[in-house]
Structures are given as structure tokens and as C-alpha cells.
């Protein structure tokens, strides 16, 4: 992906290396035992809407995964970034490459969605992106490396532990900068759903439903975020920002984080009723729909 000349967003807050607890008492947010935390690793790696929803998923019996060790460091983020095994940066650059990459992708999503909203006669209010390492706090609860990337509608912020990019590459076999950009664009997709009121509407509907019904709605919400991520990709492609292999990277990432793919990897079998994000095939299909049409109206996953 040619992201070198993307406008850098001012809406990135770098909390990496910050004191996550702030000395406040441990409490509130996510209170989970060791066993549950193991499940959270999986639930969250499929890009949870917020940690509270993940806890809901746990109650309905989520997949069980072997404990994970945290990756040492994320791979590089250079414009020709295809991390080779064992490849590391020799010395830290003056500018943190992970932060620069996140600011570039976020900045580009701002430009794209600003134009799309303008065309609809409304104004796009960009979200903030919080980069953290290990753990931090959000209005939706405590975020940890195990939480994975997520969007919190209450504070309109995207939370991203930059080590996740390494995880995406190593654990899910989906390396590459466009795959990483897809992750950010997907979370921005949730912000778009928040602005359009879809998220609130779905939240209200969920309150009337049992676990199975809630999961089904959650899948539709996630697939729409994938479609919206595709819309950003459509405009990136139109401005000639994609390179050979980028689309494949994105497709691989969308499929790798399908519920079936993750369940199969984690437990060896698939439980479709427990899906909260959609199958690999569905995620791929909706990401492609956005990518090929560039049209929000085509992203009606609720229809
Ligand atoms: Zn999501």
C-alpha cells in the first residue's frame, strides 16, 4: 500500500508506555477469571464491538483456546512491508513507525468518510484512536493486549494495541500493511455505524432477544463494518494507493478473522450459532462488496 503520502491524522493518542492504571483501585470494567481471559483472547481477536459484548459471548459459551504468549514486537510498517520471518528493525526510527502508520490510515479514513458524509449532506465527526501497549482504560471497560482492537461507542474511540499487528501476521497468517489497514478501517466502520445511529438501533433490538438472536444481530453489525472497511479500500484503490498483492492481503485478513476460521483453529470444530462476527466467507463477501461498489447503500447487511 502506498501510504507514505497519506495525510496524518491528529486524532491519534499515544498511550504506549503510559501508566495504564493511574494508581486507581482495580475494579470496574472487565472482571474475569483466568479461564475467561483465555477465551477473551479469541473473542477479541475477531474485533469485538466492545469488551462488554465479549463478556456476553462468554456467557453463551465461547471457544476455548490454548494460552497465548504475547508477541515480542510488531513487525515493521514500511511501505513495502512484507515482514520476513525473524526480520526486525535494526534501530528505532525517529518517528515511531507503528504510530505513523496508524495516523496515516486513520487520516485517510477521515478524508474518505468526510467526503462520503458530505455527499449525504451530513458531517463526519472523526473518532480518536488510542494506541496502547499491554493495557489501558476505556469508557467500555479496561482494555488489554488480550482484548484485541475494538471500538467503544461511549467515548467514540478506537483502541489498538500495536502488538496486534504482529499477532495478525504470525497467528492468523495475514501479514501486510493493507491487512493492518483493514483492521483500523473495520473499527472506523463501527464508528460510522455509531454516527448513522445503526449501532444504537441494534443495541435496542438486542435487548429484546435471547443469546442466539443477539449473536445473529452482532454478525450483521460486524459484516457491515467489514463492508464499510471495503468502502475505504475502494477509494484507496481509486486513488491508486494499492499495490499488487494488497487486495489478497485484505481478503486473507477478512477470512482469517471469520468466526469459523478462528473456532476451527482454537477448538477444532465450528459452532455457527455462537458466531458473533460472521464466517470467513461472509466477512470476505461483505468486505468485497464495499471494496467493489464504494457505496454505503450496498452495505445493508440487515436486509
Ligand atoms: Zn467489529
Tell me the CA–centroid distance for residue 89 and ligand 1, in Å: 30
SS3 232: helix
pLDDT above 90 covers what percent of the chain?
Answer: 47
Tell me the CA–centroid distance for residue 90 and ligand 1, in Å: 34
Tell me the CA–centroid distance for residue 219 and ligand 1, in Å: 9
Distance, CA of 292 to CA of 158 (rounded, Å): 25
| Amino acid 156: pLDDT | 95
pLDDT digits (tens, 9 = 90+) for 190-230: 999 999 999 999 999 999 999 999 999 999 999 999 999 99
Mean pLDDT, residues 28-55: 38
CA-to-CA dists, residue 193 to 69, 151, 209, 286, angstroms: 33, 11, 20, 15
Tell me the CA–centroid distance for residue 222 and ligand 1, in Å: 5
Mean pLDDT, residues 143-147: 75
Tell me the CA–centroid distance for residue 233 and ligand 1, in Å: 16
Distance, CA of 293 to CA of 153 (rounded, Å): 27
Q: Which three cell numbers stand for residue 36?
A: 475467561
Tell me the CA–centroid distance for residue 176 and ligand 1, in Å: 20
The burial class, CB within 10 Å (0-12 / 13-18 / 19+), for 16 is middle
160 - beta bridge partners?
131
Length of the chain: 303
Distance, CA of 79 to CA of 293 (rounded, Å): 26
Helix axes 211-238, 198-206, angle to 10 degrees: 160
Report residue 82's pLDDT band, with 50, 70 and 90 as the boundaries.
Answer: very low
Report residue 19's pLDDT band, with 50, 70 and 90 as the boundaries.
Answer: low
Tell me the CA–centroid distance for residue 187 and ligand 1, in Å: 6
Tell me the CA–centroid distance for residue 198 and ligand 1, in Å: 13
Tell me the CA–centroid distance for residue 36 and ligand 1, in Å: 20
Report residue 85's pLDDT band, with 50, 70 and 90 as the boundaries.
Answer: very low
DSSP class of 146: G
pLDDT digits (tens, 9 = 90+) for 162-199: 888 888 788 778 888 898 899 999 999 999 999 999 99
Mean pLDDT, residues 25-33: 36
Tell me the CA–centroid distance for residue 78 and ligand 1, in Å: 26
The burial class, CB within 10 Å (0-12 / 13-18 / 19+), for 13 is middle
DSSP H or E stretch at residue 258: none
Tell me the Ramachandran region of residue 173: left when phi exceeds 0, alpha when psi lies from -120 to 50, beta otherwise: left
Tell me the CA–centroid distance for residue 212 and ligand 1, in Å: 18
pLDDT digits (tens, 9 = 90+) for 62-79: 333 333 333 333 333 333
Instruction: Answer for the pair 185, 217: CB distance below 8 angstroms, yes or no.
Output: no
Amino acid at each position: 500500500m502506498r501510504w507514505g503520502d497519506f495525510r496524518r491524522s491528529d486524532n491519534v493518542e499515544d498511550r504506549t508506555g503510559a501508566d495504564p492504571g493511574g494508581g486507581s483501585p482495580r475494579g470496574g470494567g472487565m472482571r474475569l477469571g483466568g479461564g475467561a481471559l483465555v477465551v477473551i483472547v479469541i473473542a477479541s481477536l475477531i474485533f469485538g464491538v466492545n469488551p462488554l459484548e465479549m463478556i456476553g459471548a462468554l456467557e453463551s459459551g465461547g471457544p476455548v483456546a490454548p494460552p497465548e504468549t504475547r508477541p515480542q514486537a510488531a513487525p515493521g510498517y514500511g511501505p513495502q512491508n512484507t515482514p520476513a520471518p525473524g526480520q526486525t528493525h535494526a534501530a528505532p526510527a525517529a518517528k515511531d513507525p507503528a504510530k505513523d502508520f496508524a495516523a496515516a490510515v486513520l487520516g485517510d479514513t477521515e478524508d474518505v468518510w468526510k467526503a462520503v458524509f458530505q455527499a449525504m449532506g451530513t458531517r463526519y465527526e472523526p473518532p480518536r484512536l488510542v494506541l496502547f501497549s499491554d493495557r489501558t482504560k476505556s469508557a467500555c471497560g479496561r482494555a488489554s493486549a488480550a482484548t484485541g482492537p475494538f471500538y467503544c461507542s461511549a467515548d467514540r474511540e478506537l483502541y489498538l494495541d500495536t502488538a496486534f499487528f504482529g499477532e495478525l501476521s504470525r497467528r492468523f497468517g495475514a501479514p501486510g500493511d493493507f491487512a493492518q489497514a483493514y483492521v483500523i478501517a473495520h473499527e472506523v466502520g463501527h464508528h460510522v455505524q455509531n454516527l448513522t445511529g445503526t449501532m444504537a438501533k441494534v443495541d435496542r433490538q438486542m435487548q429484546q432477544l435471547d443469546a442466539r438472536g443477539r449473536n445473529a444481530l452482532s454478525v450483521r453489525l460486524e459484516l457491515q463494518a467489514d463492508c464499510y472497511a471495503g468502502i475505504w479500500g475502494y477509494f484507496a484503490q481509486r486513488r491508486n494507493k494499492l499495490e499488487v498483492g494488497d487486495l489478497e492481503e485484505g481478503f486473507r485478513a477478512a477470512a482469517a478473522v471469520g468466526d469459523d476460521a478462528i473456532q476451527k483453529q482454537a477448538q477444532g470444530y465450528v459452532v455457527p450459532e455462537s458466531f458473533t462476527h460472521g464466517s470467513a466467507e461472509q466477512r470476505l463477501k461483505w468486505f468485497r462488496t464495499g471494496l467493489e461498489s464504494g457505496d454505503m447503500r450496498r452495505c445493508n447487511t440487515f436486509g
